[in-house]
Amino acid sequence: MSTKEYILNAIRKNKPDGSKFAYPKIPLFPKSNKDILQEFKDNLTLNAGTWHIVKSIKDGENLIRELYPQAKIICSSAVEFKGNKDITQITEPHQLADVDLGIIRAQFGVSENGMVWITEKDMDITSLGFLSQHLIILLDPQELVKDMYEAYARIDLLNNNYGCFMLGPSATADIGAVMVRGAQGARSLSVFFM
C-alpha cells in the first residue's frame, strides 16, 4: 500500500458520520440603522467611488462631458446614454480595449458596502465592465438592498450565465504596498443615481 493510500484509508476510517451533526446556526447580525441611500453613498465613497444624483438624461450628458472631457471613445450598454462606439457591433471582447468610458446600468446596489450587482445582460459584453478606463454605473436609488443577505436572496443565478458584485474602481497593491488604481479594471467608477 502506498503512503497516499494509507493516509486516505486512515481518513476514511476516522471520518465522522455527517448525519449525526447539525449544520451550524448562522447568526443574525445587527443591521445598520442608517438611511439606506446615505449608507450606500458613504460606503461607495470609502472605496474610492463617486456618486451623483442625476435628474435627467440631459443632465447626465452634461455631467459626463464635465467629468470625462478626455474621453474619446464612449461605449454604453445602457439605453439612457448612447456612446460613439456601438456595443451591438462588437463581435470580440478585445474590441472594447480602447474604451475610455463605459456606461452600464446595474440591477441593484448593496448599502452595507457600496457594491452594485451587474450581469452579462447588463453589460451586453462582459469585458465592457473591465476593459473600460472609466466606468459610470447607472443605479435606480429605489433599487437598493440593505445587506448581502438581501442581495443574495435577490440575485437570479438560474437565468444568468455571469454576474458580479462591483465596488469602486479597480485597486491593487504591489509587494511594497503601493496602491495602484486601474491595474485590473476601471481606474474610476462613478454611480449616477437615476
Q: What are phi and psi of 135, to 5 degrees?
A: -125, 140
Segment 6-43, tens digit of pLDDT: 999 998 888 877 667 777 887 777 888 899 999 999 99
Three-state SS at 14: helix
Average pLDDT for the chain? 92
Q: Report d(CA 14, CA 8) in Å as an integer.
A: 10
Greater model confidence, 16 or 163 = 163
The predicted-structure confidence for 106-124, as pLDDT tens digits, reads as follows 999 999 999 999 999 999 9
Residue type, 30: P
CATH of the domain spanning 31-193? 3.40.50.10420
Report the half-sphere exposure of 116 (CA within 13 A, side-chain side). 32
* Cell, residue 181: 488604481
What pLDDT score does 18 carry? 67
pTM: 0.83
